[in-house]
Structure 1
């Protein structure tokens, strides 16, 4: 509960289900699919990037999970995944993600495409409300976290939920070793 307590001293937390204005449309529509408590809070869009938010709140990188969109093709079929990794790790795109997607080469989804397909803002993209054809790969460390800050689909807010709640998304797959430690 440390993250929620720390955030609540600086920002007003609201149940996400009752604050659709704090999320992108697809995110707000998908909130009911999550098992568990999800809170939303407004932020200055200038601190939407993970490092800026963590600096502003004094929280550590283990309290935040980033959503990285990756794609690759196999036999002409495109495969896309949203990789949820802690802010102190990096998705292992060249080995682990590539193997899971069963593609020769995995690359980050271009920003313009990620924004247009997700219906979310760059810098605010999160796993909740992504297109149904996107696999959601959740690093096991993310799935085990008590509380996490993730993107709400817009730069002007964030969501807080537990790792198990995130792993409850209908298309989520918990993956051991999806990310590597930074440094």
Structure 2
């Protein structure tokens, strides 16, 4: 059975947002914030594959946000990578070059949760720490509606890909997402 998600303006349901996500949405221009919707989901099906299998959200409109890091000259360089749900971030190619590091890897789960102040499985580019780079795949930026995390596992955000591409720190990179094997 497929569940139809009920989307409402995100700022009308602050209880469905992580604190940094709520703060980031409140800081957006009103016209942009009005384009961001939220829907409650079962936390047990918050992962992309499960959500697509059980709801009316399609894989083509889903986007995953992963936190990556590498070191250069003793400095850790952290960024978020946002790719379509059907793709994998090109961590050892494009991300590594964008961060100008020898090796890039995913942040360990505990560190990702701590530095983002978001729940694992709900991490989103909306509300990441100031100064972070947000690498957005061109395919995500082109989506009329992208479904991403809300900072918590019990809900999802929907917003235009063009708005994701305008978030603080956002950089659009063609080819960031590679088809999953």
TM-score range, shorter chain: over 0.9
Asked if structure 2 preserves the Cα contact closer than 8 Å seen for 1:15 and 1:40, the reply is yes
**Residue 54 of structure 2 is aligned to residue 70 of structure 1:** no
TM-score after normalising by structure 1: 0.92
**How far, CA to CA, are the matches of 1:153 and 1:89 in structure 2?**
21
- Cα offset for 1:59? 3.7
TM-score after normalising by structure 2: 0.93
Asked if structure 2 preserves the Cα contact closer than 8 Å seen for 1:11 and 1:41, the reply is yes
2:144 maps to what in 1? 146
**How far, CA to CA, are the matches of 2:177 and 2:41 in structure 1?**
27
Asked if structure 2 preserves the Cα contact closer than 8 Å seen for 1:80 and 1:133, the reply is no
1:161 maps to what in 2? 159
2:83 maps to what in 1? 85
Q: CA-atom RMSD, angstroms? A: 1.5
- Cα offset for 1:39? 0.3
Counting only pairs closer than 5 Å after superposition, residues 24-39 of structure 1 correspond to structure 2 as 24-32=18-26, 33=28, 35=32, 37-39=35-37
- Structure 1 gaps of 5+ residues are 1-6
Count of residues paired in the alignment: 176
Counting only pairs closer than 5 Å after superposition, residues 10-29 of structure 1 correspond to structure 2 as 10-29=4-23
- Structure 2 gaps of 5+ residues are none
1:120 maps to what in 2? 118
